[in-house]
Amino acid sequence: MPELTYREAVCKALADELRSDPDVIFFGEDVGEAGGVFKVTPGLYEEFGPNRVRDTPISEQAILGSALGAAITGLRPVAELMFADFIPVAMDQIVNQIAKYRYMSGGRLRTPLTVRAAQGGGVGFGTQHSQCAESWLASFPGIKVVSPADPAEAYGLLRGAIRDDNPVFVLEHKLLYSMKGEVAADAGPITLGKARIVRPGKHVTVVALQLMLQRAVEAANLLATEGIDVEVIDLRCVSPLDRATVLTSLEKTGRIVVVEESPSGAGWGGDIASLAADEGVYFLDAPVKRVNMGMTLTPYSPPLEDAAVPTTARITDAIRSVMHGYRRS
Residue-range definition of the domain harbouring residue 18: 3-182
Do 73 and 34 share a domain, yes or no? yes
6-56: pLDDT as tens digits: 999 999 999 999 999 999 999 999 999 999 999 999 999 999 999 999 999
Residue 328 pLDDT level (bands cut at 50, 70, 90) = low
β-strand partners of 219 = none
Q: Which of 292, 295, 290 is nearest to 275 (CA)?
A: 290
Residue 325 has pLDDT above 80, yes or no: no
The DSSP call for residue 4 is E
Residue 326 pLDDT level (bands cut at 50, 70, 90) = low
Do 137 and 237 share a domain, yes or no? no
Residue 177 pLDDT level (bands cut at 50, 70, 90) = very high
Q: How many domains is the chain built from?
A: 2
Question: Domain boundary residue among 182, 205, 223?
Answer: 182
β-strand partners of 146 = 170, 237
The pLDDT value recorded for residue 140 is 94
Residues in the chain: 329
Question: Domain boundary residue among 153, 182, 211?
Answer: 182
60 is catalytic: yes
Candidate list 129, 153, 172, 231, residue with the active-site label: 129
| Percent of the residues in the chain that have a pLDDT greater than 70, as a whole number | 98
The pLDDT value recorded for residue 324 is 83
Candidate list 60, 134, 231, 305, residue with the active-site label: 60
Average pLDDT over residues 311-329: 85
d(CA 260, CA 120) in angstroms, rounded, equals 11
Q: Which of 209, 182, 198 is nearest to 9 (CA)?
A: 182
For residue 27, the domain's CATH number is 3.40.50.970
Residue 329 has pLDDT above 80, yes or no: no
- Other residues' Cβ atoms within 10 Å of the Cβ of residue 190: 21
In this prediction the pTM is 0.96
- Dihedral sign for Cα 93, 80, 105, 100, please: negative
Residue 187 placed within a domain: no
Do 230 and 104 share a domain, yes or no? no
Concatenated DSSP letters of 279-300? HSGGG-SS--EEES--S-PPPS
